[in-house]
């Protein structure tokens, strides 16, 4: 049986009541193509914040989105995991 890499996150999220605004945080190398891929995960209603690292090598992206349930959050992380060099916080 495969271990679910999202088990701990799922357990933490299930303690909250849904729907609720959830903050996603990602770090990617500061390349327009990678930043655009992360941005494309979210719709126009999502509040996005960008913060370059001190030497502008990396970009931190925060995304506040109204999420309906735990599985929708897990699915968003699974989509994000397909982006090269992405770190999810």
Say whether 27 sits in a helix, a strand or coil. Answer: strand
Asked whether residue 36 is assigned to any structural domain, the reply reads: yes
Asked whether residue 3 is assigned to any structural domain, the reply reads: no
CATH number for the domain spanning 25: value is 3.30.70.260
**pTM for the model:** 0.90
**How does pLDDT run across 16-36, given as a tens digit for each residue?**
999 999 999 999 999 999 999
Asked whether residue 4 is assigned to any structural domain, the reply reads: no
**How does pLDDT run across 59-88, given as a tens digit for each residue?**
999 999 999 999 999 999 999 999 999 999
- Structural domain boundaries, residue 52: 16-88
Residue burial 50-75, b: 16+ Cβ < 10 Å; e: rest = eeeeeeeebbbbebebebeebeebbe
Say whether 63 sits in a helix, a strand or coil. Answer: strand
């Amino acid at each position: 049986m495969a271990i679910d890499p999202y088990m701990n996150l799922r357990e933490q999220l299930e303690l909250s009541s849904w729907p609720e605004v959830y903050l996603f945080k990602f770090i990617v190398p500061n390349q327009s193509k990678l930043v655009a891929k992360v941005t494309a995960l979210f719709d126009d209603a999502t509040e996005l914040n960008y913060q370059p690292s001190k030497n502008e090598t990396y970009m931190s992206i925060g995304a506040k989105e109204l999420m309906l349930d735990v599985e929708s959050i897990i699915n968003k992380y699974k989509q994000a995991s397909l982006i090269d060099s992405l770190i999810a916080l």
